Amino acid sequence: MKLTKKLHSCIALEKDGQVLVIDPGAFSEPDAGLGADALLVTHEHPDHFDEGRLRAALDANPAAALWTLRSVAERLAPAYPGRVHTVGHGDAFTAAGFDVQVHGELHAVIHPDIPRVTNVGYLVEGSLFHPGDALTVPGTPVETLMLPVHAPWNKVAEVIDYVREVKPLRAVDIHDAYLADIARPIYDTALENLGGAPHGRMTAGESTTL
């Protein structure tokens, strides 16, 4: 399975000629979803869900389909009958040949005065976990943890403890658009030295084989 990092929290996975894209939001490339055979969205916040990007991807490939939670599905299902699937915690499905399990229910707390929205994470092929905007522990072995490294709802101590709890074989940064390059070495050093798992970051467009 090939992993390609896109901007912010968007990633693309490729296997057997099929492409799965997770979270092509407003902070990702305008064409982030194009070429996808399957699309997954973790929650409704615009840096993860951009309706225009999803419509462009679904229009470009009439065989492509979307799996997401209800708040996003309701926006797109009328225009794409039979191609938009609503999922929640505990569900399992196959999307474009990828086996996917759904873990998690709520977005992390930003502030007690801000209502929490639904958020789901996706475990793909039993090996790669994308948690969206939550520090969800899937309760099953994870080889590659896509790690939300910097957000309005987390601090580095929580990110370190999350890696320790999940115990992946490797952690790769996502949710990094808010983090200035000058500060990256601080996070890299802390996560590598304290997380208990090899930690890395990929530039947008960079790929690796898992």
Total structural domains within the chain: 1
Q: Is residue 207 part of a domain?
A: no
Phi, psi of 128 (to 5 degrees): -110, 130
Residue 210 lies in a domain: no
Query: Helix %, strand %, coil % for the chain, to 5?
Result: 20, 30, 50
Q: Is residue 206 part of a domain?
A: no
Domain range for residue 171? 2-200
Tell me the longest C-alpha to C-alpha distance in the chain: 48
Specify the residue for token string 């040949």. 97
Q: Does any domain span residue 208?
A: no
Model confidence at 19, pLDDT cuts 50, 70, 90, reads very high
Q: What's the CATH number where 117 sits?
A: 3.60.15.10
SS3 68: strand
Pinpoint the alpha helices (H) of the chain: 51-60, 70-76, 156-166, 184-194
High-pLDDT (> 90) share of the chain, %: 100
Which pLDDT tens digit goes with each residue over 57-95? 999 999 999 999 999 999 999 999 999 999 999 999 999
